[in-house]
Amino acid sequence: MKKMMQLATVLGVSVGIFGLANVAASANSQYSAKRSNSVRLVWRTNMRRHACTATQGAHHSKHLGIRYSNNDVTQIITWYTDAHEKLYKKYKGHNAIYYHVKSVDGALKGWIWRGYLKSVATSNNGKSSSSSMNQTDLERWVLPKYEKLSKLKFINFFSKDPTSEKAIEQVLVKVGYDQNTRSSYQGWSVGGAALGSDSFEEGTEPGKGLIFLIQK
């Protein structure tokens, strides 16, 4: 359960450390046994690499047990396919094809119903300018939602356990945000995300994260 919830928990951790107001969660990972039991695997196999985006639905672990995040949260990500599967939906009586996709750096992965995926063109080197979530990507996502911002600051970090306030505390001190520095941001709001990765065995691995501070 700790791995399932690490993406959502980092928001609570960052809010606690900074003593600030919560702005927006960038992830909503959750497990559903009902959803997992509602489908039966027909087949799963590798496929060619195609670039695509998704703004609707969500991306899941295989067999749909874990919903990692809604696709409107990661709509700026360019996904690359590497596998697909056919699932029989027991209660609806029909099949559905899901593609396994990942960002170019492998930080984000998941299974998305192909009806939510739209093909996109890539540059000559096969990469897209929005192929992974980084500071620039979050600026594009955050800024339109907060048009009257006077200041916006990003803190990139890497932690083996982004659900742990102690671990995040140590990381923030290491990157130059000790307690005294953080106290200077009183009155700001905070948001962020931890970017994990799932494998074909499911689950997410703690790793890269980003906290953004907003002063209106």
User: What does the pLDDT look like over 91-123, one tens digit per residue?
Assistant: 999 999 999 999 877 778 899 999 999 998 765
Co-location of 85 and 105 in the same domain: yes
In a domain, 59, yes or no: yes
Under 8 Å between Cβ of 202 and 61: yes
Assess whether pLDDT exceeds 90 at residue 126.
Answer: no
Cα–Cα distance, 28 to 82 (Å, whole number)? 24
In a domain, 127, yes or no: no
Across 147-175, average pLDDT: 77
This prediction's pTM: 0.53
pLDDT of residue 97: 95
Co-location of 86 and 58 in the same domain: yes
Co-location of 73 and 139 in the same domain: no
Domain's final residue, options 85, 119, 153: 119
Question: What's the number of domains the chain is made of?
Answer: 2
Domain's final residue, options 119, 143, 166: 119
In a domain, 34, yes or no: yes
pLDDT of residue 73: 73
Average pLDDT along the chain? 75
pLDDT of residue 41: 95
> Is residue 10 very low, low, confident or very high in pLDDT (cuts 50, 70, 90)?
low
Co-location of 183 and 170 in the same domain: yes
Domain that holds residue 57: 30-119
Assess whether pLDDT exceeds 60 at residue 207.
Answer: yes
In a domain, 124, yes or no: no
pLDDT of residue 23: 57
> Is residue 149 very low, low, confident or very high in pLDDT (cuts 50, 70, 90)?
low
In a domain, 126, yes or no: no
> Is residue 131 very low, low, confident or very high in pLDDT (cuts 50, 70, 90)?
very low
Co-location of 17 and 66 in the same domain: no
Co-location of 182 and 103 in the same domain: no
